[in-house]
């Protein structure tokens, strides 16, 4: 009886050790936001950022099969107030949709439902355009007070794709790419 107990404890320890040393493949790569820069022009606060590790193999295959994919940048501009709760000045979402046209062999990227897409001839340049958020207007300068501390809070998420007529049951892998980055914060003074 003791020999069986010792053997089961030994096997349990080996399983725990294996799980700790060799994490699951799906958890190995997490999307991130990098190269965050907040600046301004004469009238607006501008955001520059890049989403990394956001295209998984299953997602690339589905995009090449014609399934549209939506990236959503969630963005909050907040004022830091030491004695009170921080105040959210502006909250906005910027949606980008990528679609592949099998006949023309081109990739179209629509931003916030704009009817005029930006067309790309290859997948690499379309991926780069989807992941780069350059010159995004975060807030008008008129909404900020001079001399105060602010921060910009952001994350990127992949919206769940809705396929027509229960096709998500056929293309079950579509649900595997639902993800979002952690919230990132960048402080700035105006």
Can you give the pLDDT of all 190 residues of the chain as single tens digits?
566 655 655 655 555 555 455 444 444 468 889 999 999 999 999 999 999 888 888 788 888 888 888 899 999 999 998 888 999 999 999 999 999 999 999 999 999 878 899 999 999 999 999 999 999 999 999 999 999 999 999 999 887 555 555 555 555 444 545 678 899 999 999 8
pTM, whole model, 2 decimals? 0.73
Q: Is 40 helix (H, G, I), strand (E, B) or coil?
A: strand
Rounded CA separation 153/188 (Å): 11
Backbone phi, then psi, for 8, in 5-degree steps?
A: -70, -35
What is the structure's pLDDT at 119?
A: 95
Tell me, yes or no, whether 3 lies in a domain.
no
Tell me, yes or no, whether 1 lies in a domain.
no
DSSP string, 65-82: TT--EEEEEEEEEEE--S
Which region, left, alpha or beta, applies to residue 167 given φ > 0 means left and ψ of -120 to 50 means alpha?
A: alpha
Tell me, yes or no, whether 13 lies in a domain.
no
Tell me, yes or no, whether 10 lies in a domain.
no
What is the structure's pLDDT at 153?
A: 96
Tell me, yes or no, whether 99 lies in a domain.
yes
- Using one digit for the tens of pLDDT, what is the confidence trace for 63-114? 888 888 889 999 999 999 888 899 999 999 999 999 999 999 999 999 987 8
Most distant pair of Cα atoms in the chain: their distance: 80
What is the structure's pLDDT at 31?
A: 84
Rounded CA separation 114/144 (Å): 28
What is the structure's pLDDT at 53?
A: 86
Tokens of residue 153, six digits: 């809070």
Tell me, yes or no, whether 104 lies in a domain.
yes
Tell me, yes or no, whether 90 lies in a domain.
yes
Tokens of residue 162, six digits: 């809705």
Tell me, yes or no, whether 110 lies in a domain.
yes
Domain count of the chain? 1
The answer to whether residues 153 and 78 touch, using CB atoms and an 8 Å cutoff, is yes
62: containing domain: 29-189
């Amino acid at each position: 009886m003791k020999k069986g107990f010792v053997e089961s404890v030994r096997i349990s320890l080996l399983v725990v050790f294996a799980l700790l040393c060799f994490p699951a493949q799906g958890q190995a790569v997490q999307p991130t936001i990098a190269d965050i820069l907040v600046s301004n022009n004469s009238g607006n606060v501008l955001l520059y950022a890049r989403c990394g590790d956001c295209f998984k193999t299953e997602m690339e295959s589905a995009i090449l099969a014609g399934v549209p994919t939506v990236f959503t940048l969630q963005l909050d501009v907040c004022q830091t107030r030491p004695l009170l709760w921080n105040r959210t000045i502006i909250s906005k979402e910027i949606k980008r949709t990528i679609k592949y046209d099998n006949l023309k062999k081109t990739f179209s990227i629509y931003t916030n439902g704009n009817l005029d897409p930006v067309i790309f001839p290859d997948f690499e340049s379309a991926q780069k355009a989807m992941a780069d958020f350059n010159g995004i207007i975060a807030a008008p300068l008129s909404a900020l007070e001079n001399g105060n501390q602010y921060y910009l809070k952001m994350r990127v998420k992949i919206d769940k794709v809705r396929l027509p007529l229960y096709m998500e049951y056929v293309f079950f892998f579509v649900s595997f790419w639902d993800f979002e980055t952690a919230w990132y914060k960048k402080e700035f003074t105006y």
